[in-house]
Amino acid sequence: MSELRVSEGNPLALALNEIKRTYNVDATLVGKGKTLHKWGFNAGSANATWETVQDSGGTETLLAANSITVADSTSASDTMTLRVEGHYLDASDNLIFHVQTVTLTGTTAVALSQPLARCSRMFVTVGAAAVGTVTVNAGEGGTAYNRILATSSTSEKAATSISYRDYFLLTEFGSSVLGNNNAAARFRLQTKPVGGVWRTIARWSLKGDNTDYDRGTQSPLVVIAPNTDIRIQSNASSAATEISAHFDGYFAVDEDLINDASPAPA
């Protein structure tokens, strides 16, 4: 932990010290060199139903196998190239971060080079914004696990996963009610270890158009352990409430695992 001094009261240094004391792991920020800004948007948050804040609405059922195998679009015009970010599971049920490039062929499904158990983000790298709805699916015609809506070039999903060798230092989270006649919306930030259950670690609420809440870096950082999923959900007081949510932070990698080769998928 030589890159930061705990004695200076640096919140990142204190978080690294917490990792050491809680998990007996020396973790490094500099060795990882990666930050995260994750956001989601839902144009129609449901009334009295908890949903993950994502452009598709609904709540994803997390997979226990690498079943996300293809990408396609509802429009034959979509032939752009995508960067697809997510995780696959190895034989020990560890989440392994993986990035791949996929070139669409319209409505014809294209196989992913590495099937995934999670897809946290995808965006256009070559080509135009989507004409149709672009999805990654569990097989052709199967359940969609992330999407880019028509006229957009990126997915918007306030959920991600933490790999087997990383710790996530959550610095900020928040949300906005963007519209719908002063509707109220409740929010919850949740985490779930692989094989475990969802646990709420923060709740808040907003009421009124164009209202915002942010829990910032002046508060203690939240340390999220490896092999953990994280999401923000919303529950609106009336149907079709337009909302957004986000969370931010830094990754620290276990120094003993920093040079690991990616394990083979299950």
Q: In sequence order, what DSSP letters do the residues of 155-209 get, joined into one string?
A: --BSEEEE-TTEEEEEEEEEEEEEESTT-EEEEEEEEEETTS--EEEEEEEEEST
Q: Is 61 helix (H, G, I), strand (E, B) or coil?
A: coil
Residues 92, 32, single domain; the answer is no
CA–CA separation, 74 and 41 (whole Å): 21
Q: What percent of the chain shows pLDDT beyond 90? A: 79
154 occurs within a structural domain: no
Please count the structural domains in the chain: 2
More confident site: 155 or 1: 155
Go through 22-42 and write b for each residue having 16 or more CB atoms within 10 A of its CB, e for each that does not: eeebebbbebbeeebebbbbb
21 occurs within a structural domain: no
Last residue of a domain, one of 148, 169, 194: 148
Residues 44, 101, single domain; the answer is no
Residues 140, 190, single domain; the answer is no
Residues 176, 90, single domain; the answer is no
Residues 92, 222, single domain; the answer is no
Last residue of a domain, one of 88, 123, 148: 148
pLDDT for 5-40, tens place per residue? Answer: 555 668 899 999 999 999 999 999 999 999 999 999
16 occurs within a structural domain: no
Residues 163, 248, single domain; the answer is yes
CATH code assigned at 252 = 2.60.120.340
CA–CA separation, 60 and 44 (whole Å): 16
63 occurs within a structural domain: no
2 occurs within a structural domain: no
Residue 1 has pLDDT above 50, yes or no: no
Residues 127, 191, single domain; the answer is no
Q: Is 249 helix (H, G, I), strand (E, B) or coil?
A: strand
86 occurs within a structural domain: yes
5 occurs within a structural domain: no
Reported confidence tier of residue 3, pLDDT bands at 50, 70, 90: low
Q: For residue 95, give its domain range.
A: 68-148
pLDDT of residue 217: 62
pLDDT of residue 238: 83
The H or E element spanning position 18 is helix 11-23
131 occurs within a structural domain: yes
Reported confidence tier of residue 52, pLDDT bands at 50, 70, 90: very high
Residues 144, 163, single domain; the answer is no
Name the average pLDDT for the chain. Answer: 93
Is there a contact between 236 and 205 (Cβ–Cβ < 8 Å)?
Answer: no
Beta strands in the chain (DSSP E): 27-28, 35-45, 51-52, 68-73, 81-89, 95-103, 110-116, 118-126, 134-137, 144-148, 159-162, 166-179, 184-193, 199-207, 211-215, 222-224, 228-236, 241-254
Residue 134 has pLDDT above 50, yes or no: yes
Residues 179, 206, single domain; the answer is yes
Last residue of a domain, one of 98, 125, 148: 148
Q: Is 24 helix (H, G, I), strand (E, B) or coil?
A: coil
User: Which phi-psi region, left, alpha or beta, contains residue 237 (left: φ > 0; alpha: ψ -120 to 50)?
Assistant: alpha
Residues 46, 166, single domain; the answer is yes
